[in-house]
Amino acid sequence: MKKSFFEMIFVLLISISFPFSCFSQGSVNERIVHFAEGFLGTDYDPDPLGAYVRKKVIVYDEKVDCVYLVFRSVELALANSESNSIEIALDKRFKTRGIMSNGLVLNYDDRYEYMEDVIPTGKLGKDITHSLSERIAHTSSPRVSDFDFIPKEEINKVAKKLKDGDIVYFVKGVKDRKENEIVGHLGIVKIERGEVFLIHASGIKVNDYTRVKSTGRVVKVPLCKYVLKSRFLGIKVTRM
């Protein structure tokens, strides 16, 4: 069920403040899941550019897309305060480093626009794809000569090796790509009673984003079912 605005704000305030004071000894991966779950029910951001980019801010929790959800959850998990999470974001979201003045980001043109560019940097964890499966497929784009991933047919075998907080990147087929992007979506793993779930911002980007409130929301769904029903070719995984 979708949360009301006030319920969403309450959950986010608790999610942001409580772990800083009480979960400081918890693992980073547990914290990633905790913060990601704090966004469940949050409206999807339909702005193709990303509302946080268009508004030139680091924190914009009112509406989120898949990229913002993952970055923000990781940043909060690594931080010891809200201000510290912003400093971490200035490092992780940018190829060099984000620059802020009077609360606004001056160089979002230096951000990572393609998630396949982030993976090799280790900013969102170590690439563990090869340790999860012996069967590896390959794809490429005009920008990336070789990108390896696990075929979707292997997801049931791989799922049992995933852990809380793992970040899953979904690989697009060539015909589905709009701007030569390889990674078309991403989300965070949560294990519940032995079943593997995906926490992700589910929705679509639309050009007339100012006329629509949202096109989806952050949800938690069974990972294997999601992958097998999707058009994605397979997955790549990183772990903090």
**Would you kindly state where each structural domain of the chain is located, as residue ranges?**
5-239
The top-level CATH class assigned to 5-239 is: mainly beta
Q: At what angle do helices 5-22 and 28-38 cross, to 10 degrees?
A: 160
pLDDT at 22: 54
Which portions of the chain are predicted below pLDDT 50? 1, 10-11, 14, 16-18
130, 148 Cβ separation under 8 angstroms: yes
Pairing label, strands 234-239, 167-171: antiparallel
Q: Specify the pLDDT at position 97.
A: 98
pTM exceeding 0.75 = yes
Q: What is the pLDDT of residues 160-188, one digit of tens each?
A: 999 999 999 999 999 999 999 999 999 99
